Chains A and B, each alone.
Chain A
Amino acid sequence: MLTLLSRRGRAQWPLLTSLLVTLVVGTTLLGTSTLLITLTSQRSVEVAAARAEPDDVAVTAYVAGISAANAGSVAADTRSVLTSAVAPFPATTVTRASSVMRELPLAGPEGGGYLAAIEDLPSRAALLTGRWPRPGATPREAAVLQSTARLLGLDVGDRVRLGDEMGRDPNGPVEVRVVAVVRPRQDAGWDRDPLYGTGYAADPPESTSARPVRAYGPFLIDLGELLAGGSALGRLEVSARPDLSDPTSRDLNRVTASLLRADRRLNGTLGDRIEVERVASPLPGTLLDARRQQQLTSSSVLALALIGLLLTAIALALAARLTTGVRTGESDLLTALGTSRRQFTAVAAIEAGALAVLAFAVAVPASSLLYAALTRLNPLADAGLTAPVRISGVQLLVVGGAAAALAGLHILLAVRPAPAAGDRRGHRELLARSGLDLVLPALAAIGWWQLRAQPAGAGSRADAVRVLAPALILAAGAAVALRLLPPLLRAAEQVAGRTRGFIWSLAASGAARRPQALAAGLLICLGCAAASFGTAFSATWHASQVDQAELSVGTDLALSLAGAPVTGQSATVRDATGGTVSPVARQNIVVGQWLGGPGSSPRLVAVDTRHSADLLRGRLDAGRDWSGVTRGLAPATPVTGVALPRGAVPAIVGTATGSSPVQVTPHLILRDENGLQTSCTAGPVPLDGRRHAVSRCAPVPGLRLIGVTLPVTGQTEVQNVSSVDVTLTLPASSAPAPQWTVRPGNPASSQLTNEKVTFDGRKLRVTATVSFADSAPSSRVLVATAFAEPGPMPVVLSTRLAANVNAHRGSELTFAVDQTAVKAVVRDIVPEVPSEPGEAAVLADVDWLARALAVRGNVVSPVTAWWVGHPAVDDARSRAGDLRLGPVNTPGAEADRLAGSPLRASYPAVLRVLVAAAVVLLLGGVLLHVVCDTQARAVEVARLRGLGVSRRGIRRALIGEHALIVLPLLAAGAGVGALTSALIAPLLIRSETGAAAVPAATADWPWGAEALLLTGLIGACGLITGAVVLVQARRADAAHLRVAS
C-alpha cells in the first residue's frame, strides 16, 4: 500500500500539491486570525491604555473639611493611598489645596479671601509682574491673580491681612506679602479653583458663611506652608497619573481591581480626620470600555475568519472530489482486486495525515510570518500593534485542529464510493441537498433577523449568531445563486443551438449539460461573494467611521475651550484658521422637569445658525440639509449696540435716595465682531454721585456694548426703598443710537419698579425704584439691553429628546441653561444634533441664546468652544492647537482615531486577509477544476480534431464553455456579496463603545474597488483557463484517439 501511495503521489503530484495548497491557505488564514484574536487583541488593550489621554487614566482623590492640625498628614496619607492604588505602575502626583474662606478686611465687611497652593504653579499661571513665591519667608509670600489684583488694587510688595476663618472653630489671621501678579493659563486646572480662576465672585458657591460674602482669591502660597500653616483646608485634591507606557494586561487588571477598592481604603485611612472624601478615576471605565471593544472586534474578526474557513472547506471538498474522480479507474481496479473498504480508508488516512502534517508544518510559520507582516502594515502599525514573528500555543492548537478536521473531510470524501445512477444513496443525497437548500436560507434569515434585533446599547456579547451570521448568509446566497444558474445555462444553450455554427453550440451544451461543469460553482460563487463582501464591508466600515466622526465633531474644526472665552478670542481663532468661525455653546441643560436619562443629561448646542451650511456636519435624513433645518433659529435683526473703541474707559456715576448706602456692580455685556458675547465687571460701585471709571473692558478693537446689568445691593429691610439713577457715559459715536430697553433680570421679582432707560448716543441712563425687602440679591438685577426681549427661542430637537419629552413641532418648552430659565419653541426635529451623537440634545442659535440669557441677568458667556467651517488655512488644526486654548478636533482626525484605534485596527487587517484568501482559494479552485476537466476531456478534444475542428475552434469552445460557467458565477458572487453587505454590513458595525453606530451605518458599495476586484477575477480566471486550454489543445494529438472514452 505504501508503495502504491508513494508511486501514486509521484504520478499525481499536481493534484496533491493543490490539495496541500488549499489546506495551507485555509489553515494559514485561521492561524493568522487566531494571532489577531489572541495576541493583537490582548496587546491592543495594553496599547490603548498606554495611549490613553492623561486625564483618562488619572486617579484623583477629593478630600474636604480638613482641620489645620490634620492638613499635612491627610495630604501625605492621600498621596500614599493613591500611589499604592496604581502600583505597580510608577505615578506622579499633583496636589492642590485651598483653605476655607477667611475674612478679608481689605474688601470691606462682606469681603472674603482664601489661601491656596498648587504644585508646579509656574506651569499653570503666567507671571505678569514680580517673582514666584518662595517658602520660609515672613510674612508668607503669595501670588495673586491679575483680576484679584485689579479689583483689590494690589501690587507687588503689598501686604494683605486675611482675618479669621469663617465658620466654626476659626483659626487666627494670617498675613501674606504679594510677590507676584499672575494670569491663569488655559487648560491648567483652574476650573477646580473655588472661584474657577476668575479671582472674584459676589456669591461664592463654597462659602460657609451665613452672611453675604464677596470673595477674592486665591492668595497662592507654597503648598508646604499651606499644609503646615495653621489653616483649615476647604478642599484638598491629589491627582496621581500612573505611567502606563509599557503596561501588561495582568498589571492593568490588578490596577482596575485596586482602584475599585481605593475609595474605601482612603476612607479607612483618613477616618475622622476629614469630613468628606472621594476617589474618582476614569481608568477602570477606560479599561472596561477597551475590553468591551476588544471583545467586539474579536468576535467580528472571528466571523470573518469563519468565512475563510468555510471557503477552505469548500475548496478542499472540491479538490477531494476531483481527486476521487481522477482516481475512479484506479479505485475500481483495486476494488476488483479485493481491496477492502478498511484498506481504502487506511490509504486515504495516511495520505490525508501526511497532507495535514505538511500543511501544519507550513501553515504555522506562514501564519506567523503573515501576522507579523500584517502588523507592519497600517492600520495595525499606526495603532502601535507591530509584532515580531511569534508562535503561540493557541495558534498551534487551532492550526493543528483545522488541519486535522480538513484532513478528516478529505478522508470522508476519498473513501466514499462514487454513486451509481439511480442508486438509493444518490436519492438520499439529493434529498439532503434539497433540505440544505431550504435550511441554509432559513438559518441565514434567522441570523439576519437576530442581527437586526440586537440591542442598540453597548454590549460585548460575542454571540454565536453574530459570529456565524455573515458566513451563513453568504453560504445561503451562494447556494441559492447556484440553483439559478442551470436554467440560465439552458437558456444560453437554446440560443446557441439555434445558430449555424458548432463552436458556441458545443460550448453552451457543455456548460449546460456536463454534470461536472458546476463542480467548482459553489467555491467560485462563494469566493467571489466573500471577496466582494469583504471589500464592501471594509468600505462601509470606513464610511461609517467618517460619518461617526463628522457627527461626533459636528463641524470641520472644533476647538473646545479649556477656560472661559476671552474678549477678542474670535479674531485670534479666525486668524489661525480662516473660514467661517462661530462661537459655540455646548453644555448640559434641564428640559422642563426632565433631567435626562441614566448617565446623560440633555445637551444644548448653540451655534451661529446663519452659517449652518458652512458650520454643521453630520448626516441628515434624505432631502434635508442643515441650512434648511436651522432656518429661522437666528434672530431676525442683528444687535448693533454701541461701539467701544480699543482702550475706551466708560465712566459710571449714580445716585440713590434713602438713608442707607446703595451700590451696584455693573457688568458690561460686550459682543465682538464674530458674535462672541463676554462681560466685563467693574466691581462694586457706590451710588454716591461720584464718577467711577470702568477700565480694561475694551482690550481689543471691534467690541460693541450691547447690554448692562446692574445688580443693586443695599441693606435688607422691609421699609428700605430707594430710587436709583445710574448713568454710564460712553465714548462719543457718530453711529445711530440703538433703542435700549430695560427690565428686571428676574421677571417675577417685585423688588424693582418704575425701571426706565434712555440713551442719547453717549449717555446710558437707567432709573428704577428698588425695594430691599427681599434678601435674595438676584431679585434686584436691572438689565438694560440694546435689543428687545427676544421671546421664546426657536430650537431643533434630536429625535431622542423629542421622544423623551413628548415634543413635536410647535411645542413650547422651558430649558434651564446655567440655572437660567429660557423659554423655547420647537421648530424641527432631527435624528441627531451635531457633536452630540445619540444624545438627547437641542440645537439653537448662539446669538438668540446669549440674548435670552442676558435679559435674565446671566452675563456669564455660555460659549465653550469655537467651531470653524471650511478652514481656509492648510494646517488649521495645528495652528488652532498652537493657540493653546483647548483641545482641537476635526472629522478627519476623529475618523483616523476611530479607524486606527488599537482596539479596532484588527478589523481592516482581517478584511484584507479575507479578501486575499477568498481570491486565492477561488483562483486555486478554478485552476484545479479547469486542469481536471481538460485532462478528463483530452480524448474528446482529440476526437474533435478528428472531426475537423481546428485547434483554434477547440480553444474557443473550451474557453467559451468555462466562460459561460465562470462569468455568471462571478457575477452571482458579486451580487451575493453586494446583497450580503447591504443586508448585514451596517448591522455588524458598532461604535467604539460597542453601541449601535450613530449615525446608523449605511451600506457603501465601492464601485471602483468592486469593479477592479471583479475585473481582476475575470482576468485571472481567463488567464488560467486560457493557459490550461491552450496547453490542452496543443497536446490533443492522434495518440489520444486510441484511448477509450
Chain B
Amino acid sequence: MSGPLLSVQAVHRSFGTGPAAVHALRDVSFEVEPGTMVALVGRSGSGKTTLLNVIGGLDRPDSGTVVVDGLDLGGLDEDGLSRLRRERVSYIFQTFGLIPVLSAAENVGVPLRLARADPARREQRVAQLLGLVGLDGHAQQRPGELSGGQQQRVAIARALAASPRLLIADEPTGQLDAETGLAVMALLRGVVESEGVTAVVATHDPVMMALADRVIRITDGRVTP
C-alpha cells in the first residue's frame, strides 16, 4: 500500500454544549507516512490525548475524517473499531495500563489471546518481545513487582505483540524519571525501526522530539506550524 498510513482531515471535537463547550480539536488535519515516528507536542489541555483517542477509535470526532491504514474510522461500528485496535492500532499509556493480576508475560500475550493465536506461537512471540525490551528474566513478575521503566517496557512489548501498523503512545515517559524515560524513548525508537511500525507519540519531552521523524505541534486544539 502506498500513501499515508494515517490521515486526519478537518477533525473537530468538542465536549459540552453552549457557552460552556470545550473545543478540544479544531479543524485538525495532517498525515503520517508509514514507518515514521511522529511526536505530537503541546501543553497540557491542548488536545493531544483527545486527538490520540480519535485516531485510535476510542473517541469519535464531531466532524472530519480519520483514515488508518486505509480504513475510514467514521465508517466503522463499535465492533469494527475494537477490531481495528486489536489488529492495526496499539496503545501505550502514560500510566502503563498493565493488567495488575497478570504477569509480565501474560500482559504481553493479551493481544495475541485477543487474536486467538496458537498458544505455542503466542509463547514464542511473548518471549521474543520480552527479549526485545530486555525483560527476559521478568516474565513471571506482576506489574506491582516491576519498576516504572520495566512496566512501560512491558507495555511497549504488549503494544508490539499483535504486530500493529500504528503505535499510539500517550506521554509514555510521563511517569518516569529522566534516565528511565530516555531509555524507554530509545527503545521505542528502536522498535519503530526494527518492527517497521508507524508511531504517533504525544509528548512534551524535548528528547523525544529529537528522536521523532516529525513533530506536530498542537495549541488549543489546532495544529500549528
Contacts and interface: CB of A to CB of B under 8 A. Distances in A.
Given A947-B85, A948-B87, A502 B110 contact: yes
A946 B114 contact: no
B56 A946 contact: yes
Contacts of A948: 82-87, 89, 111, 114
A501 B99 CA distance: 16
Contacts of A1045: 95-97, 100
Interface stretch (A509-517, A671-679, A790-798): A509-517
Nearest to B56: A946
Interface in A965-1006: none
Contacts of A506: 99, 102, 110
Nearest to B86: A948
A1041 B113 contact: no
A949 interface: yes
Interface of B: 49-50, 53, 56, 58-59, 78-79, 82-87, 89, 91, 93-97, 99-102, 106, 110-111, 113-114, 116-119, 158, 170, 175
Interface string A933-962: 000000110011111111101000000000
A498 B111 CA distance: 16
A943 B97 contact: yes
Contacts of B118: 500
Contacts of B58: 945-946, 1037-1038, 1041
Nearest to A512: B101
A944 B118 CA distance: 21
Nearest to A498: B119
B101 A500 contact: no
Contacts of A500: 113, 116-119
Contact of B114 (A947, A1038, A1044): A947
- Most chain B Cβ neighbours within 10 Å, of A947, A950, A1038: A947
B83 A509 contact: no
A1042 interface: yes
A75 to B, nearest CB: 93
Nearest to A509: B101
A949 B82 CA distance: 6
Nearest to B122: A500
A278 to B, nearest CB: 83
Top 7 nearest A-B pairs (CB, nearest first) are A948-B86, A948-B85, A502-B113, A513-B101, A1038-B53, A943-B97, A950-B82
Contacts of A367: none
A940 B99 contact: yes
Q: How large is the interface on A (under 10, 10 to 19, 20 to 34, 35 or more residues)?
A: 20 to 34
A505 interface: yes
A1043 B99 CA distance: 15
29 contacts: A501-B116, A505-B113, A506-B110, A514-B101, A943-B91, A943-B93, A944-B99, A945-B58, A946-B58, A946-B91, A947-B91, A947-B97, A947-B111, A947-B158, A948-B83, A948-B89, A948-B114, A949-B114, A950-B78, A950-B82, A953-B82, A1038-B53, A1038-B59, A1041-B49, A1042-B49, A1042-B94, A1044-B95, A1045-B95, A1045-B97
B16 to A, nearest CB: 13
Interface in A992-1045: 1037-1038, 1041-1045
A404 B97 CA distance: 43
Nearest to B111: A947
A510 B101 CA distance: 6
Interface of A: 498, 500-502, 505-506, 509-510, 513-514, 939-940, 943-951, 953, 1037-1038, 1041-1045
A514 B94 CA distance: 23
Contacts of B158: 947
B58 to A, nearest CB: 4
A contact face: mostly helix, strand, loop, or mixed: helix
A514 B101 CA distance: 6
B212 to A, nearest CB: 22
B67 to A, nearest CB: 18
Nearest to A961: B101
A809 B106 CA distance: 75
A202 B225 CA distance: 137
A506 B110 CA distance: 9
A501 B119 contact: no
Given A500-B113, A505-B113, A1045-B96, 5 more contacts: A943-B99, A945-B58, A946-B93, A947-B114, A948-B82
B14 to A, nearest CB: 14
A1041 B86 contact: no
Contact of B97 (A514, A946, A1038): A946
Contacts of A513: 101-102
A937 to B, nearest CB: 9
Contacts of B119: 498, 500
- Most chain A Cβ neighbours within 10 Å, of B91, B101, B102: B101
Contact of B82 (A502, A509, A945, A1043): A945
Contacts of A498: 119
A1041 B111 contact: no
- Most chain A Cβ neighbours within 10 Å, of B78, B91, B113: B113
A1041 B93 contact: yes
Contacts of B49: 1038, 1041-1042
Nearest to A950: B82
Nearest to B99: A940
A835 B82 CA distance: 76
A500 B170 CA distance: 29
Contacts of B89: 948
Contacts of A505: 113
Nearest to A517: B101
A500 B110 CA distance: 10
Contacts of B93: 943, 946, 1041
B109 to A, nearest CB: 9
A396 B178 CA distance: 65
Contacts of B56: 946
B53 A950 contact: no
A1041 B59 CA distance: 11
Nearest to A1036: B58
B13 to A, nearest CB: 11
A1043 B158 CA distance: 20
Contact of B79 (A510, A950, A1037): A950
A951 B93 CA distance: 19
B168 to A, nearest CB: 9
B111 A509 contact: no
B154 to A, nearest CB: 13
A957 to B, nearest CB: 10
B102 to A, nearest CB: 6
A947 B167 CA distance: 12
A858 B119 CA distance: 96
B101 A947 contact: no
